[in-house]
Amino acid sequence: MPVRFRSVASRRKRHPARSCSRTLFAVSVGKGDPKRIVEAGYDQIGPSYRPWSDEAMSNDVRGEYLQDVVTRLPKDADVLELGCGPGADAAQLARERRYLGVDLSSVQLDIALAHVPNGSFLHADITALELPANSFDAVVAFYVFNHVPGAEQGPMFVKIYAWLRPGAFFCASLGAGEHEDLVQDDWLGVPMFFASIGRDENERLLGEAGFQLERSELRTELEEDGEVSFHWVIARKTN
Ligand SMILES: C[S@@+](CC[C@H](N)C(=O)[O-])C[C@H]1O[C@@H](n2cnc3c(N)ncnc32)[C@H](O)[C@@H]1O
């Protein structure tokens, strides 16, 4: 059964988000480093992340896909959200359903837990997560895969496929363009790890994992300092 996340308020560090410089530089990241950069980054951004994300995305593609997910789900479904962050979507996903949110950042999980007391939350790296096969009606991952190393994304699709029940689906925003794994020196005031394997590779690896694509499209949103595109998918487990 899902483990309820325990608050670790003593680890909280509050740093206001600053505008980002958009300076990118590639670094050679050793094994394990990307996860530590992401964890430390989101812990440090802390409560500033959720208001930034609520306001930054003017087109609200996430809202559209969230609505699509909710209308496809039966009541009493089992829903897994990967990289749930501060729980912006958790309340809707958890309504009359069993919900498990997983995140690397204990600070973001603290915020999610405060907003969604009926959800279950787990502090874990999604790429190291072990869950029973055939146990979820949907897996949702919004703006998370762009923080997962490129080489780990295909194996992650295989794990998600196994966790889903036959006929269940995976909904995610994935990296739209292709670039090497990199660290941005100042993203919301912290160093942050980013990866993106691109739409063609996303589709190829999802197909290889066994998924059938029901929606697959590039969508552009306007952030405060420019346009950003993601590859949005709804992929179904067919057997
Ligand atoms: C951009 S935020 C998105 C949060 C939420 N899905 C939303 O749309 O508001 C990315 C979240 O993914 C989490 N994350 C990134 N890589 C992760 C990993 N390997 N395991 C667990 N969580 C991860 C981060 O800690 C962060 O909270």
Q: For the segment 113-133, what is each residue's pLDDT rounded down to a tens digit?
A: 999 999 999 999 999 999 999
Which residue has a Cα nearest atom 12 of ligand 1? 83
Atom in ligand 1 nearest the alpha carbon of residue 129: 20
Is 127 touching ligand 1 by the criterion CB < 6 Å?
A: yes
- Reference 114, options 136, 90, 138, 97; nearest CA is 90
Give the residue-averaged pLDDT of 177-181: 95
Which residue has a Cα nearest atom 13 of ligand 1? 83
Q: For the segment 18-75, what is each residue's pLDDT rounded down to a tens digit?
A: 222 233 444 444 444 899 999 999 999 999 998 888 877 656 899 999 999 999 998 8
In this prediction, residue 215 has a pLDDT band, given cuts at 50, 70 and 90, of very high
In this prediction, residue 221 has a pLDDT band, given cuts at 50, 70 and 90, of confident
133: phi then psi, degrees, rounded to nearest 5: -70, 155
CA distance 104 to 3: 14
Cα 69 to middle of ligand 1, angstroms: 18
Could you count the other beta carbons within 10 Å of the beta carbon of residue 42? 24
pLDDT at 53: 84
What three-state secondary structure class fits 32? Answer: coil
Whether the per-residue pLDDT at 108 is higher than 80: the answer is yes
pLDDT at 28: 42
Q: For the segment 128-167, what is each residue's pLDDT rounded down to a tens digit?
A: 999 999 999 999 999 999 999 999 999 999 999 999 999 9
42: phi then psi, degrees, rounded to nearest 5: -70, -30
pLDDT at 126: 98
In terms of DSSP bridges, do strands 120-123 and 136-141 run parallel, antiparallel, or are they unpaired?
unpaired
Question: Of 5, 100, 104, which is best to mutate to test ligand 1, by the most ligand atoms within 8 angstroms of its C-beta?
Answer: 104
**Cα 223 to Cα 44, 100, 231, distances in angstroms:** 21, 28, 16
Strand extents, DSSP E, 142-225? 164-175, 178-187, 190-197, 211-223
What three-state secondary structure class fits 87? Answer: coil
Which residue has a Cα nearest atom 4 of ligand 1? 85
3.65.10.10, 3.40.228.10, 1.10.1450.10, 3.40.50.150: CATH of 23-237: 3.40.50.150
Q: What's the whole-number average pLDDT of the chain?
A: 86
pLDDT at 3: 30
pLDDT at 7: 26
Which residue has a Cα nearest atom 10 of ligand 1? 144
CA distance 203 to 218: 12
- How many whole angstroms from its chain centre is CA 188? 17
Give the residue-averaged pLDDT of 170-190: 96
Please tell me the pTM assigned to this model: 0.88
